[in-house]
């Protein structure tokens, strides 16, 4: 009788990541929701940029035109795109729990942290490419439809490339925050609600607080911090572009870390 010795156990947690990442990428692109959320994000970005370029010049006065952040106007579609990216980030993990697919997934990849890391990597890559492309598409669309040169900008101007690419960075990290919350909450509706509460409630609550608190806390709430990366100009009270983005990334990192810790300690 021939007995096969079992292969030695793997102690390298990152071993096998390329295979797992290929599997996760196939998962991401083999469901329609991925295509539709990303399509919605790109289209809304571009279409809203076109409308902004056509309608805004007639509505803004000369002083406003001189002081307004024209790059921000071209990225107005981010307000819709962020919802799409957030939902997609959540679904990357919660759709597995919702359908029960997680059982097959964890049976195939019992090292759950490696699994979650692979999911985050694949989502990050996809979101960066689509998000940055969508932002530049919006920027160029805005320039193309602009009839008024006073709002025109160039990629050569200081900060413009950072702000436009920043739109894509913002969307990606927002999606990762969704992925982290999804890993913690495991239910699509709950995680989506948590994500958008975290993003949209603090600004409302902040208005109810005393003014001094507003200036102390305000810059650090997720949307204020994260939004700096796609702004050309920064108010004195707010964080700088990269500092703000760093704080925003910290929120995502915290959520993902909590998801990382929990995933090994819960039954699926």
Distance (Å, rounded) from C-alpha 43 to C-alpha 143?
A: 16
Report, in Å, the least distance between residue 95 CB and another protein.
6
**Could you tell me the smallest distance in angstroms from the CB atom of residue 50 to another protein?**
31
Asked if 162 and 229 count as a contact pair (C-beta separation under 8 A), the reply is yes
Comparing CB distances to another protein, the nearer of 7 and 210 is 7
Residue with tokens 């990225």: 75
Token duo for residue 110: 């019992």
Matching residue, tokens 């980030």: 89
DSSP 219: G
Interacting residue with another protein among 54, 55, 66, 108 (CB under 8 A)? 108
Residue 189 in contact with another protein, rule: CB under 8 A:
no
Residues in the interface with another protein (CB under 8 A) total 34
**Residue 54 in contact with another protein, rule: CB under 8 A:** no
Quote the CA–CA distance of 177 and 258 in Å, as a whole number: 11
Question: Is residue 27 involved in binding another protein (CB under 8 A)?
Answer: yes
Name 35's Cβ contacts closer than 8 Å, sequence gap at least 6.
Answer: 29
CB of residue 39 to another protein, shortest distance in Å: 15
Map tokens 């919702």 to a residue.
98
Q: What is the DSSP letter of 153?
A: -
Residue of 44, 82, 94, 95 interacting with another protein (CB under 8 A): 95
Q: Which is nearer to another protein, 102 or 225 (CB)?
A: 102
Q: Is 101 in the site for another protein (CB under 8 A)?
A: yes
> x/- string (CB under 8 A) for another protein, residues 146-165?
--------------------
Q: Which two tokens stand for residue 200?
A: 């949209």
From 42-50, 106-114, 159-167, 172-180, give the range in contact with another protein by CB under 8 A.
Answer: 106-114
Candidate residues 14, 15, 129, 261; the one interacting with another protein per rule CB under 8 A = 15
The conformation of residue 230, written as its DSSP 8-state character, comes to G
In the list 109, 206, 217, 223, the residue contacting another protein (rule: CB under 8 A) is: 109
Rounded distance between C-alpha atoms, residue 139 and residue 70, angstroms? 10
* Calpha distance 7→67 (Å, rounded): 66
* Site of interaction with another protein (CB under 8 A): 6-7, 9-10, 15-16, 19-20, 22-24, 26-27, 30-33, 95-96, 99-111, 267-268
């Amino acid at each position: 009788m021939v007995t096969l010795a079992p292969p030695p156990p793997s102690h390298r947690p990152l071993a096998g990541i390329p295979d797992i990442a290929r599997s996760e990428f196939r998962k991401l692109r083999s469901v329609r929701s991925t295509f539709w959320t990303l399509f919605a994000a790109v289209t809304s970005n571009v279409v809203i940029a076109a409308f902004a370029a056509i309608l805004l010049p007639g509505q803004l006065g000369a002083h406003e035109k001189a002081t307004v952040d024209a790059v921000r106007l071209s990225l107005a579609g981010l307000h819709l795109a962020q919802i799409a990216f957030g939902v997609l980030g959540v679904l990357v993990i919660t759709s597995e729990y919702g359908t029960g697919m997680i059982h097959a997934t964890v049976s195939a990849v019992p090292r759950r942290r490696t699994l979650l890391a692979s999911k985050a990597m694949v989502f990050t890559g996809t979101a960066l490419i689509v998000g940055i492309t969508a932002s530049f598409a919006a920027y160029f669309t805005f320039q193309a439809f602009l009839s008024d040169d006073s709002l025109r900008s160039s990629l050569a101007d200081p900060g413009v490339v950072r702000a436009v690419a920043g739109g894509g960075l913002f969307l990606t990290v927002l999606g990762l925050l969704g992925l982290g919350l999804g890993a913690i909450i495991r239910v699509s509706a709950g995680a989506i609600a948590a994500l958008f509460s975290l993003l949209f409630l603090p600004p409302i609550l902040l208005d109810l607080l005393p003014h001094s608190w507003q200036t102390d806390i305000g810059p650090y709430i997720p949307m204020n911090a994260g939004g700096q990366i796609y702004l050309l100009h920064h108010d004195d009270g707010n964080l700088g572009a990269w500092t703000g983005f760093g704080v925003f990334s910290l929120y995502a990192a915290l959520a993902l870390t909590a998801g990382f810790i929990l995933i090994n300690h819960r039954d699926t």
